[in-house]
Structure 1
Amino acid sequence: MRAFVFPGQGAQTIGMGKALADAYPAAKAVFEEVNESLGEDLSGLIWGGDIEELTLTANAQPALMATSMAVMRALEAEGVTIEAASFVAGHSLGEYSALAAAGAITLADTARLLRARGLAMQDAVPVGVGAMAAILGLDLAAVKQVAAEAAQAEVCQAANDNDPAQVVVSGHKAAVERAVEIAKAKGAKRALLLPVSAPFHCSLMQPAADAMARALADVKITDPKVPVVANVLAQAEADGAQIRGLLEQQITGAVRWRESVMYMAAQGVTDVYEIGAGKALSGMVKRIDRGLTTTAVGTPESVVAVAAAMNK
C-alpha cells in the first residue's frame, strides 16, 4: 500500500517547481491558475524572487501547495492518479495540498484559503510576542511536561509531534524560551528557537481559527477520492463535512505527524511518496518507522522514475 504525503512550511526554495512547469504543460497550468486565483504573479516570486519574501507565511503556504499540485499533475500526465495511494496526508498546510490532490477542494479555492490562512496566522499574534522551539531527543510525553513547567500562566504547548526525537513547542516567547532551558536540563540533545514569524498550532492562534472558520464556510468541500489522515485526529477521514471542522481545529491543534505515520503503517502502508518541495517529511517518516520506504517526488526525473515503477 502507498501513501502520498505533502510537505509543510519550511520546505520552500526559490525555483521550486520550475523544471516541472517547463517539462509538463499541466504542471505549468497549476501555477497559472494559482496566479489567477490570487490576482498576482506568485510563480514569479517562487521562481525568481527573494527567499525572505517567499518565506512570508502568506506566500509560502500557497506556493508550497502549488508546487505539490504541479507534481501531482505531472504524475497524472505520466499515468499515475491520486487513486494510486491508499491514503494522503500533509504536514500542517500540507493537509490542504493533500485535500486538493484528493479532489476535496478545488485548486483555486485551496490557493485562496491558504492565502487567507497565512495572513490570519500572521496577524493572530503581534510579531515578537510568540515563538516556537524544536526539542530534540525527548519524546512527546517528556516535552509536554517541559511545556507545562515552562508555561507559568502563559501559553506553552507541544505543537508538532514530528518524529520520536523531535517535538516542537509553541506559545508566548518567554515561555518558549523557558522551555528551551528546561528541556536542556532534562537531557534534550538540542533545544533551539525556530526562525518562524508566529507561534503556530497553539491556543494563541484562536483568532486565526475564527478567521478560517469564516473562510471555510464559503468553500465547497467534497468527499476526497482517497482518505485523508487528518493532523488533529492522526487517523483517516473521508467525509467532506467533517473535514471542514478539522481544518478549523488544525490552526490551534497539534500536528500529530508521528501518530499519523504510525496509523498509516498500521493500516498496511509500506511505501510513502513525498509530493512537492524538499525531503523533510521523508526523513521524519524514516525516523518514525524504518520499515517504510520513502521517495521524494519533486523533479521531472523523479516523476518519470516513480511513474515507470508504478505503471509496471
Structure 2
Amino acid sequence: MRAFIFPGQGSQSVGMGKALAEASAAARAVFQEVDDALGQHLFRLMTEGPAEELELTENAQPAIMANAIATLRVLEQEGGIRLADKADYVAGHSLGEYSALCAAGAIDLVTTARLLKHRGLAMQAAVPVGIGAMAVLLGADLAKARAIAEAAADGEVCTVANDNDPSQVVLSGHRGAIERAVALAKDMGAKRAMLLQVSAPFHCPLMQPAAEAMQAALAEAQVAAPLVPLYANVTAAPVADPDTIRALLVEQVTGMVRWRESVAAMTEAGVDRFVEFGGKVLTPMAKRIAPDAVGISVVTMDDIEALAKVI
C-alpha cells in the first residue's frame, strides 16, 4: 500500500519550481493558477527571491503547496497516473495537510492557495514578533520532550508542537519558556536543542486567534470528500468526512502535529511506501519511524520520470 505525503514549512528555497516549470506545461499551469488566485507574482518570488520575502509565512505556505501540487500534476498529466489509483492514503505535515487535501480533490487549487495565504497572515498576526519562539529537540522522544516543556514553562506556554519522529520533537510557546527549555534540554536527556528561525510560535495555544480566523475561512470554503482518506495531523487517524476535515484543520492550528503517530498508524494499516511530493524532509522521518518502509522523494523531472516507471 502507498501513501502520498506533502511537506510543511521550512522546505521552501529560492529557485523552487523553476526547472519543473521550464520542463512542463502542467507545472506552469499550476503556478499561474496560484498567482492568479492570490493576485501576486508568487512564482517569481519562488524562483528569484529574495529569500527573506519567500520565508514570510504568508508566502512560504502557498509556495510550498504550489510546488508540491505542480510536482504531482506533472506525474498525473505526463505520466498518465491518477492519485486515486496509486495512493491508498494522503497526509501532510502542518500546511502540507492542505496540499494533501488539494491533491486528493477535497479542496480545489484556487481555494487551497487562498486558504494558505489567509492562514499564513493569521498565524503571523496572532502573536507579535519576539513574543513567541520554537525549538527543536534532537535525541528526545515525546515523553522526554513533554517533561522538558513542563519543567521550562514556569507559568508561560511551552508545549510540544511537532512530534516528528522518535528522535526529533519541536516545542513552541513564549520565548522565555522556549529559551529555558533549550537550556534545560541536555541535562534532561536530550542530545541537542536549538532555537528555530521562525517568525511565530506555531501549533501551540498562542495561535488561538489564527484558529478562529481559519474557522471562519473554512466555514465559507468548499470542501469535498477526498478521493482517498487523509491521515489527519491532530488525530493520527484517517478522515474523509468534509465537516470533520474542516474541524480538524481548525484544531491543527493550535494542536500538536502527530507525524510520528500518523506514519506509524499508516504503516499499521498496511502502508509500506511513502511518496513525498515537492520536498525531501518527510521521507527521512518516515524511514526513522518505519525502517522497513520504502521512502521516495519526488522533486525533479528525473524523480517524476523514475517514479512513473515503477509506481
Shorter-chain TM-score tier: over 0.9
Equivalent in the alignment of 2:253: 251
Percent identical among aligned pairs is 58
Give the aligned residue type for 1:294.
Answer: G
Equivalent in the alignment of 2:26: 26
Deviations 1:114-158 (A, max 9, x none): 000000000100000000000111110111111111111110001
In structure 2, the gaps of 5 or more residues are none
Q: For 1:136 and 1:189, locate their aligned partners in 2 and report how far apart those are by CA, in whole Å.
A: 6
Give the aligned residue type for 1:19.
Answer: A
* Aligned: 1:102 with 2:83: no
Post-superposition shift, 1:72? 1.1
Give the aligned residue type for 2:80.
Answer: G
Equivalent in the alignment of 1:113: 115
Q: For 1:13 and 1:286, locate their aligned partners in 2 and report how far apart those are by CA, in whole Å.
A: 23
Equivalent in the alignment of 1:14: 14
Give the aligned residue type for 1:300.
Answer: M
Give the aligned residue type for 1:307.
Answer: A
Q: For 1:6 and 1:258, locate their aligned partners in 2 and report how far apart those are by CA, in whole Å.
A: 14
Give the match's secondary structure for 2:208. helix
Tell me the TM-score normalized by structure 2. Answer: 0.98
Indicate if the aligned counterparts of 2:230 and 2:238 stay in contact, CA closer than 8 A: yes
Equivalent positions of 1:268-279 (< 5 A) are 268-276=270-278, 278-279=279-280
Give the match's secondary structure for 2:3. strand
Tell me the TM-score normalized by structure 1. Answer: 0.98
Q: Provide the aligned C-alpha RMSD in A.
A: 0.7
Q: For 2:216 and 2:189, locate their aligned partners in 1 and report how far apart those are by CA, in whole Å.
A: 43
Equivalent in the alignment of 1:264: 266
Post-superposition shift, 1:223? 0.2
Post-superposition shift, 1:15? 1.3
Equivalent in the alignment of 1:175: 177
Equivalent in the alignment of 2:237: 235
Indicate if the aligned counterparts of 2:236 and 2:265 stay in contact, CA closer than 8 A: yes
Post-superposition shift, 1:289? 1.2
Q: For 1:100 and 1:85, locate their aligned partners in 2 and report how far apart those are by CA, in whole Å.
A: 14
Equivalent in the alignment of 2:71: 71
In structure 1, the gaps of 5 or more residues are none
* Aligned: 1:301 with 2:299: no
Give the match's secondary structure for 1:19. helix
Post-superposition shift, 1:242? 0.7
Q: For 2:188 and 2:147, locate their aligned partners in 1 and report how far apart those are by CA, in whole Å.
A: 10
Give the match's secondary structure for 1:285. helix
Post-superposition shift, 1:187? 2.0
Q: For 2:250 and 2:105, locate their aligned partners in 1 and report how far apart those are by CA, in whole Å.
A: 19
Equivalent positions of 1:81-230 (< 5 A) are 81-83=82-84, 84-230=86-232
The ranges of structure 1 where at least 4 consecutive aligned residues each deviate by more than 6 angstroms after the TM superposition are none
Deviations 1:171-201 (A, max 9, x none): 0000011111221111211001000000000
Post-superposition shift, 1:21? 1.4
Deviations 1:256-304 (A, max 9, x none): 000000011001111100111x311111111111111101001111101
Equivalent in the alignment of 1:43: 43
Indicate if the aligned counterparts of 2:20 and 2:71 stay in contact, CA closer than 8 A: yes
Post-superposition shift, 1:241? 1.4
Give the aligned residue type for 1:87.
Answer: Y
